Amino acid sequence: MTRGRIGIFLLALLVAAGLVYGFLPRPVPVDVVTATRGPLAVTVEEEGKTRVMERYVVSAPMSGYARRIDLKVGDPVKRGQVMALLEPARSDALDPRSRAQAAAQASAAEAALAGARENARVASVEAHLARTEALGKSKFLSAQAVDQARSNAARTQAAQQAADYTVNVARFQLDTARAALVRPQSGSAADTLSVRAPVEARVLKLVHQSEGTVRAGDPLIEVGNPDTLEVEAEVLSTSAVKISKGAKAMLDRWGGNPLQGVVRVVEPAGYTKISALGVEEQRVRVIVDFTSPRDAWQRLGDGYRVEASFVVWEGSDVLQVPASALFRHNNGWAVFVAANGYARLRTIQVGQRSGLQAQVLDGLKAGDKVIVHPDDKVLDGVRVKVRSSDAG
């Protein structure tokens, strides 16, 4: 019986120990990162695109008919080289009904011309006769009769001139009617206007390549020098105020190695742009010049996409921790430090912040293990178990 009681007691003790162990708080698994000292840069990142510094849009100087442009995109052009040819505007082609009407009008004009010529011939005969009678009567009649004869001669002379003018008018009307029947043809070389290149450059875009009618001022070709590239980035106005002229810029995600640049201009005027979510944003254009060698970005062309990072602050020896370790505490910032298997709350003072890292001014030292992404189970004094550790 004694052995049985001892066995029951040991079993009960084992069950009680199991229950106590089961209800004990388990260590919370956490991920930790070591606080380190190193360089830190605060940047403003925006999408940008390349563009040629000096581009020229060559337009049609007059309305007319443009011949097909034989140039291709990328072709070099020299200053003064003929790039396009413009002819005078061509007349509209006549449909069968309009052509029949124009032919009838031409026939009517021919008949009117013939009638005018006959009237002119009659007037000429009458004028000649009146002059002859005036000369003959001047020797036998009185002065009054002679004056009347001369008056009749002058009147018939004027009628002859009027008939001649009528003939000219009929001839011009006939020419007009015949011109309507002329089929549209290409202009002669004397009527063709040459559009020439303003500078030595390359063709960037053919706006009007095929032949056709153009109006004065219509763009034909865009030219520029692709070796003179710059980067244009559209930055939020709240971020643009932090960027100054001469600031460093990193240009990445264009298909090659990262490139270096420097801010040349922060435009003083902003503009409103609708974002992809339909929100109105105030944007400012920031222009960047390449400082990397030309060989490093020679594959870039006009209108290529890049990711621009503008450096607004940087330090070479900065104590920093991941921004994911920070949380708000008593109107300030704090982190949890993993020390001897427990989580310890540390109130810290934060300085500059980049997208992923934050500068620590006070409250930590290099080598401290901070907990990243702490959840609601991590409290001050709670046992923790390091699940993963990153030295950086």
Average pLDDT across the chain, whole number: 82
Question: Which of 85, 72, 87 shows the shortest CA–CA distance to 223?
Answer: 72
Which residues constitute the domain of residue 201? 55-90+186-224
* Mean pLDDT of the 319-339 span: 92
Share of the chain above pLDDT 90, in %: 44
Answer yes or no: do 165 and 107 share one domain. Answer: yes
- pLDDT recorded at residue 102: 64
Query: Measured between alpha carbons, how far is 204 from 58 in angstroms, rounded to an integer?
Result: 11
- pLDDT recorded at residue 199: 87
Question: Which of 18, 341, 325 shows the shortest CA–CA distance to 333?
Answer: 325
* The pair of three-digit structure tokens given for residue 203, joined into one six-digit string: 């063709």
Q: Does 25 score more than 90 pLDDT? A: no
pTM over 0.75: no
For 47, residues 6+ apart whose C-beta sits below 8 A from its C-beta are 233, 234, 305, 306, 307, 308
Q: Does 275 score more than 80 pLDDT? A: yes
* Mean pLDDT of the 38-47 span: 92
Answer yes or no: do 84 and 191 share one domain. Answer: yes
- pLDDT recorded at residue 68: 92
Per-residue pLDDT of 198-252, as tens digits, reads 888 999 999 988 888 899 889 999 999 888 899 999 999 999 999 999 999 999 9
Would you place residue 62 in the very low, low, confident or very high pLDDT band (cuts 50, 70, 90)?
A: confident
CATH number for the domain that contains residue 60: 2.40.50.100
- pLDDT recorded at residue 141: 47
DSSP notation for 120-138: HHHHHHHHHHHHHHHHHHT
Per-residue pLDDT of 63-72, as tens digits, reads 888 999 999 9
The domain boundary residue, chosen from 179, 213, 235: 179
Number of domains within the chain: 3
